[in-house]
Amino acid sequence: SAVISQKPSRDICQRGTSLTIQCQVDSQVTMMFWYRQQPGQSLTLIATANQGSEATYESGFVIDKFPISRPNLTFSTLTVSNMSPEDSSIYLCSVENGREAFFGQGTRLTVV
């Protein structure tokens, strides 16, 4: 199994500002995944972060809005840039072990 810690667990931010979410895993993993869960909705994959290379973004998500860092095999950050109220969501980090995916508790972001 894998234990994932996300920081912050929640935040309230002003529109136009940026927030960086941290994800720490207790074991080394090749890929880390970032998801968004808008209020009342299912999870949507934002991007896949590989150590040592650029993140791969899904359709509808761009690097300028959601820059991702992956400095080593146990850590990643997702930044939500130039926030608007529409960015209010839960952001989740995930890793896999080949059989199952493990998720952090998420970061609940409210943009006012």
Partner 1 sequence: DAKTTQPTSMDCAEGRAANLPCNHSTISGNEYVYWYRQIHSQGPQYIIHGLKNNETNEMASLIITEDRKSSTLILPHATLRDTAVYYCIVRDPGGATNKLIFGTGTLLAVQP
Per CB under 8 A, residues contacting partner 1 are 4, 33, 42-45, 48, 92, 94, 98-106
For the CB of residue 77, give the shortest distance to partner 1 in the complex, in Å. Answer: 17
Distance between CA 89 and CA 72 in Å, rounded?
A: 26
Q: How many C-beta atoms lie closer than 10 Å to residue 73's C-beta?
A: 16
Beta carbon nearer to partner 1, 20 or 105: 105
Beta carbon nearer to partner 1, 24 or 81: 24
Distance between CA 48 and CA 85 in Å, rounded?
A: 24
For the CB of residue 100, give the shortest distance to partner 1 in the complex, in Å. Answer: 4
Beta carbon nearer to partner 1, 61 or 102: 102
Distances 72 to 17, 29, 40, 52, 55 between C-alpha atoms, Å = 26, 9, 33, 8, 13
For the CB of residue 16, give the shortest distance to partner 1 in the complex, in Å. Answer: 28
Beta carbon nearer to partner 1, 46 or 83: 46
Token pair of 41 as six digits: 């909705």
For the CB of residue 45, give the shortest distance to partner 1 in the complex, in Å. Answer: 6
Distance between CA 76 and CA 32 in Å, rounded?
A: 7
